[in-house]
Amino acid sequence: MRMMAVIQVRCLPLFKAILTTITIGNCIPIPTMSIDEYVSSANQYLGKFGWGAQGRMLGLSRMFQDNDVNMIKKGKYVVSFRPRGVLSGFLVILPSTQMTFYIPPIAGRMCARQLRLRVSNSLLQDGAILSCYWDTNELVLEDILVWKGQPIWQTISFEERWNTYMKRFCTEWRPDPVLQDCKIRLAEYISLDQFQTLAENDVVEFVPQTPNTKRLIWLPTMESSEDAMTMWACRESSIGPDIFSLWKSKNIERQGLAYIKSLATSRALRLHKESEFHVKTVWNRRFERYEIVDIASP
């Protein structure tokens, strides 16, 4: 049975608090260091792999640009949503120290924060770096950048990082809300085909499958033509609950899948009893797709 060690830490600003030497888990001693020294070591560990203030890459995302539209159409991407105004930092499991830190982004307003995690002794010994952000009081884990000394963000596809290495992390980390003093959850991802509904304050992240490639952050604005036109919508239940194909008229000239921006529109479509019906649409220039704005009268 895998032994789990408890990392004894607390949330602190960066000040000269001295930790006494303690023994945890399978009797691995922790050397006496100040909080500042541990945080400095965590930043050095980030920099060793090119991340953070001491590396070449401050974060794993960049802002979406107009010329990225064709790249997204041609490439393999998944989509994630995050709160507006929230930047990603790093969860650093510092090897051979039994210490774990949240290191904020350079532009962030937070201080470095120690975390209390129940993880395997193997992971504590070999270390890891994850990308994460705070959503109110929840820490959201969105990617694994370094796994036990291996820089997998640069060499392995996102699909494998998420489906293989994040699963491995979840087997070596045992959630303990009381010990952690915060909730920790995994980010959620959908395919481009499922990208239909957008909450008003959401930020969209297009996540590439190719390794060593930054995510694209898009701040949505309403960019639709003014003239609405009536189309025939068909619910595509086999793909997802909010997926509709559009036709000029019933079963004539398919116009592709609809884009749905408003939560109110999404709710109305879900509650509509019929699987095929008339809707009002406008052309969304940004996504080059028709957007459903309302259900049309029969």
pLDDT digits (tens, 9 = 90+) for 113-140: 999 899 999 999 999 999 999 998 899 9
Distances (CA, A) of 182 to 117, 139, 272: 10, 7, 39
CA distance 113 to 128: 16
Residue 74: CB partners within 8 Å, gap ≥ 6? none
- The confidence score (pLDDT) of residue 22 equals 34
- The confidence score (pLDDT) of residue 8 equals 39
- The confidence score (pLDDT) of residue 6 equals 42
Residues of the chain with CATH 3.30.470.30: 4-61+87-187
DSSP the chain: ---EEE-------S--PBPPPEEETTTEEEPP-BHHHHHHHHHHHHHHTTBSTTSSBS-SEEE--TTHHHHHHHS-EEEEEEETT---EEEEEETTTTEEEEE--TT-SPPPEE---EEEHHHHHH-EEEEEEEETTEEEEEEEEEETTB-HHHHS-HHHIIIIIHHHHHHHB---HHHHSSEEEE---EEGGG-----TTEEEEEEESSTT--EEEE-----B-S--EEEEEEE-TTT-TT-EEEEEETTEEEEEEPB---HHHHHHHHH-S-SEEEEEEEEETTTTEEEEEEEPP-
- The confidence score (pLDDT) of residue 93 equals 97
CA distance 279 to 290: 11
Alpha carbon 238 to chain centroid, angstroms? 26
Contact 156, 208 (CB under 8 A): no
CATH number of this structure's domain 229-295 = 2.40.50
Give the residue from 2, 16, 38 showing the smallest Cα distance to 115.
Answer: 38
Q: Which two tokens stand for residue 157?
A: 């596809």
Mean pLDDT by runs of 10 across the 298 residues of the chain is 42 34 39 83 96 87 85 89 88 94 84 92 96 94 97 97 97 91 94 75 89 89 66 84 85 85 81 88 79 84
Q: Beta strand pairing status for 138-147 and 183-186?
A: parallel
CA distance 222 to 47: 39
**Which residue type does 287 have?**
F
**Which residue type does 92 have?**
V
Residues of the chain with CATH 2.40.50: 229-295
| Length of the chain counted residue by residue | 298
Give the pLDDT confidence of 165-204 residue by residue, as tens digits.
Answer: 999 999 999 999 888 889 999 999 999 888 876 665 678 9
CA distance 248 to 253: 6
Question: What are phi and psi for residue 194, nearest 5 degrees?
Answer: -85, -5
* 4-61+87-187 is a CATH 3.30.450.20 domain: no
